[in-house]
Amino acid sequence: MKLVSWNVNGFRACLNKGFEDIFNEMNADIFCIQETKMQPEQADFSPEGYFKYFFSAIKKGYSGTAVYTKQKPFNVIFGIEDKHMDEGRVITCEYEKFYLICCYTPNAQNELKRIDYRMEFEDDLRNYMLKLNKIKPIILCGDLNVAHTEIDLKNPKSNRGNAGFSDEERGKFTELLDAGFTDSWRYAHPDITGVYSWWSYRFNARKNNAGWRIDYFVISDRIKENIIETDIYTEIYGSDHCPVALDIEI
């Protein structure tokens, strides 16, 4: 089963940058999108053979997630146990053998202005995942807005303490992994450096590969041996992020 996740930084804009061709070429069983920045009726993309689910923020042009899936889920849940409903950040699809969670984690913002909310979100998401994990394994994907270790970004020293590389955010990611989950790409590529999924639009960051790996597939430990392949498609443009993928037998 192939799953793809991509923060498109505005779905309508990305549709004008070749998204449909990329989507068709990927031929994913499940394709998850973050930062749609739109309401469901604002973009007409309904590929044949897919069910689609959108969760939009109340604030127009902000945040939002979407899932395109070939197999219809048994159940679709928005938010985290009736919390975090305003910004359209979490969609859970329940299938026969696993849960799929598409997530766009809040940015802590400059000077960590939103760190308290970020910590609350992290704790709620982890506790939610622990409950679901008792029932069946989980595949969490999306822009989790954290570079976990120093090899997950180009300039760790100068970014220490900044949003996305603060001790608080990195610590919460460690807590998640310690709770019974695996960073699938790092599991498959434990020592690889210089492979990132997001680059700032400033300072020619992408040209210079001054990036961060902040887009993930995090899976239940008990299915990590089922990983067939993981990919970060650094050659694909259309957003300040590139797509990431997981091929897994489940």
Residues 6+ apart with CB under 8 A from 59: 86, 87
Does the pLDDT of residue 240 top 90, yes or no? yes
Structure confidence at residue 121 as a pLDDT band (50, 70, 90): very high
- Answer for the pair 86, 60: CB distance below 8 angstroms, yes or no: no
pLDDT tier at 239, thresholds 50, 70, 90: very high
Residue 32 CA to residue 218 CA, distance in Å, equals: 14
With a cut of 90, say whether residue 128 has pLDDT above it.
yes
Per DSSP bridges, beta strands 2-7 and 30-34 are: parallel
Q: What is the pLDDT of residues 74-91, one digit of tens each?
A: 999 999 999 999 999 999
Indicate which residue of 50, 53, 95, 104 is catalytic: 104
CB 240 within 8 A of CB 34: no
Considering the candidates 50, 128, 143, 240, report the single residue annotated as catalytic: 143
Residue 210's alpha-carbon distances to 29, 48, 61, 72, in angstroms, are 31, 37, 27, 39
Q: Supply the pLDDT for residue 230.
A: 98
| Confidence at 180, pLDDT banded by 50, 70, 90 | very high
User: What phi-psi label fits residue 203: left (phi over 0), alpha (psi between -120 and 50 degrees) or beta?
Assistant: left
Go through 100-134 and write b for each residue having 16 or more CB atoms within 10 A of its CB, e for each that does not: bbbbbbbbbeeeeeebeebbebbebbbebbeebbe
3-state helix, strand, coil in the chain (%, to 5): 25, 30, 45
State the average pLDDT over residues 198-208.
Answer: 96
Q: Identify the DSSP state of 153.
A: B
At 135-177, the pLDDT tens digits run 999 999 999 999 999 999 999 999 999 999 999 999 999 999 9
Q: Are 135 and 75 in contact (CB under 8 A)?
A: no
CA distance linking residue 73 with residue 53, whole number of Å: 10
Mean pLDDT value across residues 206-215 = 98
The confidence score (pLDDT) of residue 44 equals 85
**Paired sense of beta strands 227-232 and 198-199, if any:** unpaired
Tokens of 184: 């699938």
Per-residue pLDDT reduced to its tens digit, 10-61: 999 999 999 999 999 999 999 999 999 999 989 889 999 999 999 999 999 9
Q: Is 143 a catalytic residue?
A: yes
What is the predicted pLDDT for the residue at 43? Answer: 85
Give the Cα separation of 15 and 31 in Å (integer): 14
Inform me whether the pLDDT recorded for 244 exceeds 90: yes
